[in-house]
Structure 1
């Protein structure tokens, strides 16, 4: 197991390390984006003031194929640079949400983003006003524009929910305000909120955190699970009114955007961007609800196996298989995942190994790190993965899952032009869950005994909750 704790000098509580105490090999390498903070500042200055160049194409998109293409290329350059700035600033801030310099860069970035969005607000409505005949003519005159054919179709699809240019500018410049409820909750949850320490099964006092919560939920000792659960939710309970207010504010933001853009419901607005019919959403819910009796049956079985009079939330992830205690170092997980994903072929494995060797992954468990796990990046950067390693089987699956996203992103950006260098959330989980299923299959095939197989199946079933 990795040593992910440090001891406080004044007492015996095992506390999370400071970011400054984390070995570099446990962190992601942001120098692939910018060599240092000063380089980020230089790039920020270069992109600031681009509004004038962006606005120079306003009202001119229909002049000629060359002008139209030049405008698209200019926006691509701005988007690529903005993506790099965002990747560096956001990743550094997420690694240590208490880092004031990183927070300052993030704040500057959001202001620049709102300003550039305001300048670009005319662009999509102006594209949508172009007739199909005009665009077809431009594509014949400038073959490079054919790469944007699907992009143009999307502009015409969303046209009915676009506003006037002035209204689009106002919405774009308010983007930072619209993100405030989410930003407020993130700061509260990841930076300001603290949790009561608990005693583990050995009687050692442990500092609680978001990252450690999942590990404690898998402890066999019910008292430890219960204490961890209470520690976490007592803290949230103290801020229940603040949390409720941030949620209410976000709902008001969503409702406002829904209303001004002319959607009939919040659900329609949420699904529209990815062009998902509401009937598909309904079908998914129906399919899940139809299988709920199986989930309820599994929970009843869990209660029986654990010999509980009542089953609570802190009982839902405790291991059901006795006499097996699975622990994995990050290096163990790397070896397992590389072997498990071999069916995806040598090209995929080469990128997978690149992710490890080039430090795409920040797996350190340090104080003030953003909670959860994700894969992120931009068109001109490699993907980056954030997680906090606790040595559990679930961590191994989380890593495989996020690598699915990252390698999907890498191949997308390597194969597609900028305008198609991303994918919708509706498709995103295919690549990640495929990796999880391949890892499950590999572990079952290589299991040395029935207990190991049962532990893997136990984890697989818990994933449906």
Structure 2
């Protein structure tokens, strides 16, 4: 879409480029009907309180009811959240999200007694229940996981109180979302052609790739100046979010917020710390890359706002959406015809919301529910990065599709730890395809530069974010006040460490922490880096071993949460408890920097 002073409204976008939410509910009235049905069933749950240890039948009936309500809530939430994300300024959609969040918290409060009561059932009695009731065996892994975390669950009354905090706990993220997506207003700047261009979330990185250094500097300063104006509000919002994590950590008797966050998926803290240690022990390739970029751009000093600038100039790599779909289908051929059939279905059946419109949520994601196909949100501008984003989100979508097809609802939702593997395998296949397809040396250099940027953005940058997230949680655990100045100073110091002396760390980057939504997701970002590392290994297996590796990979996609994520990955051929996949990834980055030096 062409740049202009403003964005189109939702109504001005062609329907073929918008997702079709009628696959979830035909209308808002239908949504409201099911909402009211769920609301009416909440009271039924209470009938089972105090009864779970009586018989296998009572336990089964309660678990079935709880699972059914969870499944319908996910469907209700999918419709409401997608509606809100397509236009965050619409008060009607905001109300839908608020209503479903409130109902979800009611259900959480009503079901809060379940886990504490299960814990009180003697293990031998629980095993007897499972042995004598065939239908209850569906819940075997669910019950085993509860027993594994037994010491961190509270009494029924305490769990009810914890559940009542749910709506309050969502406050910081919701407030940040409204500031960032609905209220934040950016100015216009003058582009290299002398035209006035409105700065938006979607255009920010695109403008940072401008050939004009003045444009890059102007958009960088204009963008972060708005966050600087909001620093006190956003710092308080982020600090409150971390206090929420701290409260939950202490209430459940974990030694750190990190341990509390990782334990849900049975991920040892050592896996997180291993990532930080391995990447920080391999920063020289990043320093080499920064110096290579400085030399290639012909500047005495490389600034933060120069990082996104391609090393190769005057290469036309604009890709319209129709061409992007064709490229994706070609690149993913190694995954087989059945996989491609589902990708085609996503393209042809309005699973994807393509272009940016006024009020639309920034960024990109894939999300859905068990009773409908996945949905993909994009803000497509035709940049090479948008092609990779489309491919990335299709990886998520196909993972969800296969998991929903093969697993019962209870085990259909896979861990975030493995989610980024599926998306990044797709990206790895895409870059290999693009590098092989072109004979143009200049375009090869451009693509190799893009690959290097993938590494920088996914392994190094996300690890830096993970480092920062752990740091500010540790400061909060030690009683430090997370003031704007403290948050900015620590962020500045990490940028210096990860990028080295050859990059000027401009002061305005110090406020970047204020725009990262993932800092509200409770130790989420490290999984981009671990996922990328695992994906590098899996994509190489797919390209080298072909049918055998593809079959193993598709089984991985179908696994959902039928086992713990580390075990699922081991079955697919990658051991993330070892530093080996991460070391392999950073070595590939170092080799790629070397190849780029030879080409430049």
TM-score band, normalised by shorter chain: over 0.9
Aligned-pair RMSD on alpha carbons? 1.2
Q: Secondary structure at the match of 2:272?
A: helix
- Tell me whether 1:216 sits opposite 2:217 in the alignment: no
Q: Which residue of 1 aligns with 2:50?
A: 59
1:18-29 mapped onto 2 (5 Å cutoff): 18-29=9-20
Residue 96 of structure 1 and its aligned partner are, at CA, apart by 0.7
Alignment partner of 1:40 is 2:34? no
- Which residue number in structure 2 is paired with residue 14 of structure 1? 5
8 Å Cα contact 2:49/2:113 also seen in 1: yes
Report what 2:423 is aligned to. Answer: 432
Q: Secondary structure at the match of 2:376?
A: strand
User: Superposed, which structure 2 residues align to 1:400-419 within 5 Å?
Assistant: 400-419=391-410
C-alpha separation in 2, matches of 1:48 and 1:445:
55
Contact 2:5 2:188 in 1 (8 A): no
Distance 1:167 1:20 in 2: 48
CA distance in 2, matches of 1:126, 1:364: 48
Contact kept, 8 Å, 1:196 with 1:208, in 2: the verdict is: yes
In structure 2, what is the Cα distance between the partners aligned to 1:27 and 1:124? 41
Q: Which runs of structure 1 show a deviation greater than 4 angstroms over 4 or more consecutive aligned residues? A: none
The more displaced of 64-73 and 147-156 is 64-73
Q: Secondary structure of the residue that 1:325 maps to in structure 2?
A: coil
Q: Give the 5 Å matches for 1:60-459.
A: 60-459=51-450
Q: Offset at 1:451?
A: 1.2
Distance in 2, Cα, partners of 1:158 & 1:363 = 42
Give CA deviations for 1:116-140 in whole Å, capped at 9, x if unaligned: 1100101122222223322222222
CA offset at residue 142 of structure 1?
A: 1.7
**Deviation (angstroms), 1:4:** 5.0
Q: Could you tell me the TM-score, scaled by structure 2's length? A: 0.75
Name whichever of 60-69 and 200-209 sits farther off: 60-69
Rounded to whole Å, the distance in 1 between the matches of 2:340 and 2:129 is 41
1:50: Cα distance to partner? 2.0
Question: Bigger shift: 393-402 or 225-234?
Answer: 225-234
Q: 1:240 Cα deviation (Å)?
A: 0.8
Shift of 1:78: 0.4
Tell me if structure 2 keeps the 8 A contact 1:362–1:386: yes
Q: Which runs of 5+ in 2 are unaligned?
A: 457-600
SS at 2:167's partner residue?
helix
> Any conservation in 1 of the 2:209–2:216 contact (CA below 8 Å)?
yes
- Taking the aligned partners of 1:244 and 1:126, their CA distance within structure 2 comes to 39
Contact preservation (8 Å) 1:375, 1:384 = yes
> Structure 2: how far apart are the matches of 1:366 and 1:436?
26
User: In the aligned structure 2, how far is the partner of 1:4 from the partner of 1:409?
Assistant: 33
Report which stretch shifted further, 155-164 or 64-73: 64-73
Matched residue count: 456
Structure 2 CA distance for aligned equivalents of residues 271 and 255 of structure 1: 14
Please report the TM-score for the alignment, with normalisation by the length of structure 1: 0.96
The CA distance in 2 between the partners of 1:32 and 1:93, in whole Å, is 16
Shift of 1:71: 1.4
Partners of 1:332 and 1:391 lie apart in 2 by 10
Whether 1:464 and 2:464 are equivalent positions in the alignment is: no
